Structure 1
Amino acid sequence: MTRRELWLRIRPWVMVFDPTLLIILGVLVTLSLVTMASSANNFPGRFDGHVKNLLFAFCVMWVMANVPPRLLMRAAVPIYVAAVTLLIAVALFGTVKKGARRWIDLGFMQLQPSEFLKIGLPLMLAWYFHMREATLGWKDFALAAVLMLIPVGLILKQPDLGTATLVAVGGFSVIFFAGLSWKVLAALGIGGLASLPLAWTFMHDYQRERVLTLLDPTKDPLGKGFHIIQSTIAIGSGGIFGKGWMQGTQTHLEFIPERTTDFIFSVYSEEFGFVGNCLLLVVYFLLLARGLIIAGNAPTLFARLFSGAIVLILFMYAFVNMGMVSGILPVVGVPLPFMSYGGTALMTLAVGCGVLMSVNRHRQLVQS
């Protein structure tokens, strides 16, 4: 076999990335590496770990880009059932850390099953609506809501408000894109606002403290309000053009907590300022726009719903992280997409982007 023949044989398995999406992610990862090099300056091994996580995420993305949407459909029910079963196992036998029961100890690793639902729940609901496409009615939307509330309720019980919110957003986005009436949506919104006093009574103490800290972080400036106060100082001190790479005083004097993970946006803002923030927002906007274009052009209802949910999940990651770091949302454990250090969330995002590439690739194959 000649080299050309070998290339022609493996080319369909290698050239699977959407060029536009890949360029956007390349810019985002470049910004991530530059920021991480500064924020991890006093964390030995953290930058190298981030590079390894990104490389592994790239491999995961490549694998998912090779998986046809029809195979994802077949896996929807088993993945959902397995993930919910693991959540029940967490409630019964899970490991408790810092007052939360979120993990299963497998001996060689700590497994957090709730992460699987960020992709598994939208996958299940997209499959369900695809199968019911010809006879879709209000009963189908009600059953879909039950399928969503089961894992969300189990995750809230752990408790893990941040993950539960992202899982709920992913599931609800599929229900919305499937054709949920605006009247129903408005009624749910009004009902949600009316139930806020009741929801307050069911919140855990630490969740109430986060809300109260958001309203007035100066009540405990050296304790619970420290994160928000130092983060907003860093963002504001960046000014228009920032203090320059590796020149952030809040960062390198170690005032910013969790500066390589949840609060990496504070580091970026301090060093690159308002102009840098505008650039980052444009990159995220292009990422979301490309995802929506892929979702809108998808050939099947399943692909459209699943792709749309992935785009909304990406949006929520970015919105919630920037919101909490800027002091307009309570502090929850949500990383900034492809910027923050971490493995699990990065793999979830890589799977989502890989699915988008797979949907676009197989649409082109069908058309040709």
Structure 2
Amino acid sequence: MEKTIKYIEIFEYYRDKILNGEMVYGEKLPTEQEIGELFSVSRHTVRQSILELEKQGYIYRERSKGAYVDKLEKSKKTKSKMIIVITTYVSEYIFPFLIKGIEEVLSKNGYDILLLSTNNEKQKEREQLKKLLEYDVVGAIIEPTASALGNTNEDYYKEISNNNIPYLMINAAYDKDKQSYVAIDDEKGGYTICKYLIDLGHKRIAWLFKEDDVQGIERKKGYLRALEENNIEIDSTIVGKFKTFEEDFYIDGFTRSLLCRNDRPTAIFCYNDKVAIKVVKVAEELGLKIPEDLSIVGYDNDATVSAVLDCGITTISHPKEELGKKAAEMLLRLINGEQEKVSYIFEPEIVVKNSVKRI
């Protein structure tokens, strides 16, 4: 019994010194004989405590040289169970479902989450990343902000990595070769839904895409590939592109000019369901019926948005809650040291409603 108590006492003594910074990375521990004399125990008992310190990652040993303080993971340095989740938006569109999935998995595993949003603004992302570094967190799930415009806050991401804080990107990533991420195959999704329109006889297909997010760029690639593979001429005059802050007024103006043309398109592929609803409203104001006069497709399968249209909107299904769960599960692998980098790509699935007419 005495040996067991002493073994734990020695382990906790050096563990606490390492955690509170009294002993730092690379510092050599006293010899087994010196520790034995300090605690008045045998070298066998000292050896037990040393082995436990090594097993739990507090020290490393070099043959014939001794034991040294190891470089600690963030999870060893803190008792915090806080994980920060940074998304472009929190309370609208698909995000409540996405966050619900994240929260379900993390809370089940004993973690608390702090929700932050960027409103898809680079400066706001910078502010939230600064908070991440100030708070005592063990990990983060981050949706990149205006991802197609590059990583303007790379210095903060480097600092997060230097502080050994595991993080995982969702919906897109700034650098898929270096960052962990969970996303949907947006290029394939864009291809799938455009090919669906082509198979129903549509050749003049307009496209409204968001150009400051990687998702928009990838969906456009799929759209263009489908047209090229089916030998359909690409008309750049019926392709509209907008940035986040331009969305409302641009979509209204572009759609009106598009639908008032003599050679108006027979179908419009919208960046997402939210954009699709705005296009539908303009079309109805101009006296056009969906799908009799104009076919519409969207992306994300957001039930609250597509319900506005009686016939629904043919769209690509976003996994939402499942993506959130997968992101949380994979972040836990990073936190637990099971993997250094993870990635997962969801396959896109088309959801067919009655917003498209065969021609």
Q: Which has the higher helix share?
A: 1
Report the TM-score when normalising by structure 1.
0.24
Q: Which has the higher strand share?
A: 2
Report the TM-score when normalising by structure 2.
0.25
More RCO (CA 8 Å, sep 6+) = 1
